[in-house]
Structure 1
Amino acid sequence: MVVSMMQRQPKARSPSFGEARLDALQRHAFDYFLNETNPANGLVADRSQPGAPASIAAVGFALAAYPVGVERGWISRTDAIARTQASLRFFWTSARGTGPDATGHKGFYYHFLDMMTGRRAGICELSTVDTGFLLAGMLAAAAYFDRDSEDEREIRTLADALYRRVDWPWACDGGATISHGWTPEAGFLPYRWEGYDEAVLLYVLGLGSPTHSLPTESYAAWASTYEWKEIYGYEFIYGGPLFVHQYSHIWIDFRGIQDAFARDKGIDYFENSRRATHVQREYAIRNPLEFVGYGENFWGLTASDGPGWTTRRVRGIERSFFDYVARGAPYGPDDGTVAPWAVVASLPFAPEIVLPTIAHFQDAYPQVTGKYCFRCSFNLSFQTEADADAGWTSPYHFGINLGPVVQMCENFRSELLWRLMRACPYVVTGLRRAGFTGGWL
């Protein structure tokens, strides 16, 4: 049986990337959650753009980041408790129902919320997967704040109650798989969580519920739509963008545990993500579309900001550029835009190729480092009149980018999030009901 060998190897360090440099990178990302949060309700801005709404997924990442900050000495336990309480109290008491300006419904919450009022922002959907990231952050906080004090007991009580309130079968809308979301104007969205992607966590949380759980056939129906491919000599469950191989792994330690599909293929999901990471790098080395910069230390295609929907002739080639889309390798879409944060989020899987790439981005392209760690993305093929060689760089930082930097750096360094979630009974139950066995289970 082929399983991940990375879990049994010593953690490699690049000669140019020591512990202090990694610590500074992680701390720089953590600062986003210190500064881009409304302390009154615990909501976190989706991005650093002035006036941006809150993202419920960013709140989930913040709730999981605070324990990291406490352990690293970047925030006091008292301050982390207060921030966590503000978030949990807000979601527990927020407006729920079918009204167009509520905060949530059936235990799920709208993708974007007004930073001040906490009500639905714009005409966004009640998002199932983003609610999953929010709940995962709540459960991580409950696992970390385990002391016998009134404040920490409240965190555990509220997190448990919020998780138990979710009506998972409702989100299936009569089908086997989970819908992407719902709006009061049009009902359920026509898309479902099918095929391998970031929704592994969503199904595990739904299966683990002691109140309104998903049926086990939901997971089987979802996994039945996987695509097993061989690319550049690597066999793996295919997903083009890097984030689909990372987001569930932030919370769940998949090393050595397998569901039915993984057992049949002789792999675990950690090893799958390692292979996907190497495929991304190999794609950049081959650089079939001849984008500027691509190479062994310049890769990282994922869902990210982009130069915008436009076409330009660059070095004699007509190029199409995109705005915010889920870029992927090797089948695209690809417009030359890479996301350095997504490379960092693969650190536990392949440190031997991730650390040199981070160092290259930091040393060779200072324009991509901003107020908080790396900016969302940059593109050297999108030339500008001011400085053609500098290309385009996103002006913004995103909470859902920087959270994975904080958490995956920490999983690489201490396995903190993995250890916390291994102790969560709902996650353990969900994994077992999904058919996972072996390893730490």
Structure 2
Amino acid sequence: MRFILTGLLFIIGFFPVHSQQKTISDSALLTLVEQRTFNYFWKFAHPVSGLAPERTPTPETVTTGGSGFGVMAILVGVQRGFITREQGLDRLLKIVNFLSKADSYHGIWPHWMNGATGKTIPFGRKDDGGDVVESAFMFQGLLSVRQYFNLDKPKEAALRNTINYLWNEAEWNWYTQGGQEVLYWHWSPNNGWSMNHQIHGWNECLIAYVLATASPTNPVSVKAYHQGWAMSNYFYNGKEYYGIKLPLGFDYGGPLFFTHYSFLGLDPHGLKDRYADYWEQNRNHTLINRQYCIENPKKFKGYGPDCWGLTASDNYEFYNAHSPTNDLGVITPTGALSSFPYTPEYSMAALKHFYYKVDKRLWGEYGFYDAFSESKNWYDDQYLAIDQGPIVVMIENYRSGLLWKLFMSCPEIQGALKKLEFDSPYLR
């Protein structure tokens, strides 16, 4: 008997099995991750507004951008049968009715709001007004919602009408600071333009320029895209990293959320303009990020072909925009999981690694916690809306293309892409 037990211990020692979960099919695992992560936006949503809290320890502070990702996640919940169409409709009506009364600045919402009152919660000392980028993430979601709830029924019509009202009220052209050919990120009634932050690429803000061009009432000029967005020291790249060409952006690509936030709705398949092929851009950025983790020049514990994904997230200090040029030994699950459309085999390998092999502290009520560092034996105990949302949306885009089809079906978006001289299968 002792020999048998010794043999079993020997086998277990060489073939470790994560004790927390039984093996399930890939499809079932994807659905489980979608549903758990969706629950952040469903079960943890603020009870008054229906919007998503910024993070789990601050339930009264709701976030505009993360909630924009959240309304897209609600569509996934309806489509996957996690909730009924009627339940999703009622929640989304609550959200848009709240947004119609919440603080806004020339039709643009602040970064943070009080989830019960809609009053602005300053993001910084001077950042207490409108935030164009956060609002763009919300409008990306709301336009997708408008396209999904298309039935000729009173409640669905009311939802569409309220979304159109909010969309028409947004004064994108105000945020050019008097008609300059560039968007400014912030404006405040208390501090005016003192943030003075022009939005130049390459980063997460492409969607803001597409929406600003698409506005049916207050658009910016096409010149703003070419002379504002595409004029940056960090726009063009063209170099190779690990033999992989990177058309745009920072060395090694920067944090992976650049490939996620604008492309929850914008379908990068065949999406091209005079500057880049955006499928090539996003896939190659992802491959470079993963390869850096395989090479692991700083020798952090845990990094490898199945454990990768450097992007903005919590860390053992607080928060940082992790990337190959700003590597603190922190892996963020949303990095690999929100990249499913670009690298499905590698993202699935990462998903299985996170679920079956990483410390059980990584998995909780709303899916994977925000980040972890094996080198520091640190595992986050928080969830962040802006990291959870892309996991749901991009896994679904990989599986069915749901959000891409909805957003790209918007006539205003198609019109804007044509004005900006994009090519896309949706425009043919």
Contact 2:42 2:74 in 1 (8 A): no
Q: Does 1:371 align with 2:358?
A: no
Shift of the alpha carbon at 1:270? Answer: 1.6
**Alpha-carbon distance in structure 1 between the residues aligned to 2:43 and 2:107:** 28
- 1:380 is matched with 374
Residues 411-431 of structure 1: per-residue CA shift (max 9 Å, x gap): 011110011112111211121
Equivalent pairs, count: 390
Identity, % of aligned pairs? 32
Q: Does 1:57 align with 2:71?
A: no
Matched to 1:251, the amino acid is G
1:215 aligns with 2:221: yes
Report the equivalent of 2:332.
339
**1:16–1:356 Cα contact (<8 Å) kept:** no
> Which residue of structure 2 lines up, in the alignment, with residue 354 of structure 1?
347
**Equivalence for 1:132:** 136
1:423 to 409, 422, 425: 409
CA distance in 2, matches of 1:186, 1:77: 43
**Change over 3 Å in CA distance of 1:297–1:70 after alignment to 2:** same
Report how far residue 438 of structure 1 moved. 4.1
Q: Which residue of 2 aligns with 1:197?
A: 203
1:180 and 2:195 are equivalent in the alignment: no
Letter in 1 for 2:256: L
The match for 2:241 among 231, 243, 246 is: 231
TM-score w.r.t. length of structure 2: 0.88
Map residues 319-338 of structure 1 onto 2, 5 A cutoff: 323-329=318-324, 331=325, 333-338=326-331
Matched, 1:304 2:310: no
Moved more, 233-242 or 129-138: 233-242
Partner of 1:5: none
Secondary structure of the residue that 1:155 maps to in structure 2? helix
From 247, 258, 262, give the equivalent of 2:272.
258
Matches of 1:123 and 1:131, distance apart in 2: 14
In the other structure, the counterpart of 1:440 is: 426
Question: 1: CA distance between counterparts of 2:67 and 2:35?
Answer: 18
Structure 1 Cα separation of the partners of residues 165 and 279 of structure 2? 31
Cα distance between partner residues in 1 of 2:220 and 2:363:
42
Q: 1:411 to 1:61 in 2, by over 3 A?
A: same
CA drift at 1:182 = 2.1
Return the offset for 1:17.
5.6
2:394 to 401, 408, 415: 408
One-letter identity of the residue aligned with 1:326: A
Unaligned runs of 5+ in 2: 1-22
CA–CA separation in structure 2 for the residues paired with 1:71 and 1:413: 12
1:118 equivalent in alignment to 2:115: no
Aligned residue for 2:16? none
Query: Shift in Å at residue 112 of structure 1?
Result: 0.5
Say if 2:375 is the partner of 1:395.
Answer: no
For the 8 Å contact 1:17–1:359, the answer to whether it is kept is: no
The equivalent position to 1:291 in structure 2, one of 296, 300, 316, is: 300
Task: Single out whichever of 173-182 and 246-255 deviates more from structure 2.
Answer: 173-182
Aligned match of 2:259 in 240, 245, 256? 245
Q: Secondary structure at the match of 2:199?
A: coil
Distance in 2 between residues matched to 1:260 and 1:17, nearest whole Å = 42
Aligned match of 1:34: 42
The whole-number CA distance in structure 2 between the counterparts of 1:227 and 1:298 is 29
Task: State the shift of 1:44 in Å.
Answer: 1.6
Deviations 1:351-380 (A, max 9, x none): 021110111111111221122111111111
Q: 1:217 to 1:336 in 2, by over 3 A?
A: same
CA distance in 2, matches of 1:235, 1:187: 41
Query: How far apart, CA to CA, are the structure 2 residues paired with 1:184 and 1:289?
Result: 46
Instruction: Say whether the 8 Å CA contact 1:298–1:361 is kept in structure 2.
Output: yes
**Structure 1: distance between partners of 2:278 and 2:58:** 38
Is the CA contact 2:101–2:118 (under 8 Å) kept in the aligned structure 1? no
Q: Distance in 1 between matches of 2:424 and 2:395?
A: 25
What's the C-alpha RMSD, in Å, of the aligned pairs? 1.5
**Residue 109 of structure 1: SS of its match in structure 2?**
coil
TM-score normalised by length of structure 1: 0.85
